[in-house]
Amino acid sequence: MSLDIIASNKSFDGWHKQYRHESALLGCEMRFAVYLPPQALTGQKVPVLYWLSGLTCTDENFMQKAGAQRIAAELGIALVAPDTSPRGEQVPDDAAYDLGKGAGFYVNATQSPWRAHYQMYDYVTRELPDLIETHFPISSRRAISGHSMGGHGALIAALREPGRYRSVSAFSPISHPSRSPWGQKALGAYLGNNPLLWQEWDTCQLLRHHDCQPLPTRVDVGLDDPFLAEQLGIETLAEIAEAKGWPLALHRHAGYDHSYFFVASFIEAHLRFHAEHLLELP
Residues designated as active site? 148, 225, 258
Angstrom distance (rounded) from CA 195 to CA 209: 15
Torsion sign (Cα): 131, 134, 135, 138:
positive
Q: CB-side exposure of 38: number of CA atoms within 13 Å?
A: 9
Q: Cis peptide before 173, with omega less than 30 degrees from 0?
A: no
